[in-house]
Structure 1
Amino acid sequence: MTVLDETKENTGLFERIRRRRGADTEEMRRVRERMWAGLESWVPPEAERLRAATAAEETAAVVDDFLPPDLRVASHDQLDGRMMPWLQPLVIDGEMAVCATCGAYRDWLVLSTRDEIWLRCRAGHQQHETRLDTAWYNRHAAPADATHATFEDCLRHLGH
């Protein structure tokens, strides 16, 4: 057998492989098309479960799960003001806050009302503090532990 005969024989072999691959490729394409056609109408079981759960939620009675009125805390717009104790000396912009009337420099009540900050000393003197704002108060205040109907009730609660 010559090289030319072997080449012709190999060419025939490759042609048969190419034809078979072409047939296989065509068959694979038909199988894929049938699968896609079947998948278009298929719905995953999870989707049915979710649809059923959503329908059940829509038909469930609406229940008010909010706290009862006696356990609710008033919002900031429902309060006339807030106050907190400040026992240590209050340093603002490098200066110690001092009561203009009696000279007290510690044991303050810091009051926040109408976007203003007021300082009240133990003797009951109050002064407007312009160097502090509501944002400062909110950063330093702890959560409210009580609400009071009057200013005097709040002072008694805080020990003043």
Structure 2
Amino acid sequence: MFHRIRRRKQDPFLVEARRRHQAMWEMAQRMPWPPVQEPQAAAGPSESQVYAGPTDPVAEVDDFLPSELRVPSHDQVAGWMMPWPWPLVLDGEIVTCTDCGIYRDWVIISTRNQIWLRCRAGHQQQEVRLDAAWFNRHSGPGDGTHLTFEDCLRYLGH
């Protein structure tokens, strides 16, 4: 084992890498770094100025994102959808549509902490073995917001 360590110490690649690292470290030691400026303590407001009572008007702040860039909150969205073109295997069993027997090309819908599967033919069935945590793990970031269920299905190609 020790002969391998000795050989590794003499490896020309490692010797050159050590030399370059040492040269860079020495150069960094000689660099004149800018002095660190301590933040100046500003004169703080008095206690009577700190409390903003309920009668004080709230200032309008214009630093929020424009409305077209804001992401809707959970209470503004009825649910989420994602395409799932592969077979869905749960507990070692391939999930099939109860009406037509299709086993792939699903749209997975997450709404009110329930997961629904929709096949290409338009049949829907609730999948109790899946939950919102599974959906969140497997779905990517949302790339669109749609006003109706049909718009979202059209967007996903169903």
TM-score bin (small chain): 0.5 to 0.7
Gaps of 5+ in 2: 1-36, 51-58
| Counterpart position of 2:134 | 136
Larger radius of gyration: 1
C-alpha displacement of 1:62: 7.0
| Counterpart position of 2:152 | 154
C-alpha displacement of 1:153: 0.3
Post-superposition Cα deviations, 1:71-114, rounded to whole Å, max 9, x if no partner, equal 11111221011100000000111111100000000000000011
| Counterpart position of 1:109 | 107
Secondary structure of 1:64's aligned partner: coil
Answering whether residue 82 of structure 2 is matched by residue 88 of structure 1, we say no
Q: TM-score, normalised by structure 2?
A: 0.64
C-alpha displacement of 1:146: 0.3
Q: Distance in 2 between matches of 1:46 and 1:112?
A: 51
C-alpha displacement of 1:63: 3.8
Answering whether residue 42 of structure 2 is matched by residue 51 of structure 1, we say yes
Within the candidate set 97, 100, 104, 2:98 is matched to 100
C-alpha displacement of 1:131: 0.3
Q: How many residues align?
A: 110
Q: Distance in 1 between matches of 2:71 and 2:96?
A: 33
- Trace 1:114-125 onto structure 2 (pairs within 5 A): 114-125=112-123
Q: TM-score, normalised by structure 1?
A: 0.63
Q: Distance in 2 between matches of 1:110 and 1:103?
A: 16
C-alpha displacement of 1:120: 0.2
Gaps of 5+ in 1: 1-44
Decide which structure has greater helix share. 1
C-alpha displacement of 1:50: 3.1
Post-superposition Cα deviations, 1:120-145, rounded to whole Å, max 9, x if no partner, equal 00000000000000010011011100
| Counterpart position of 1:79 | 77
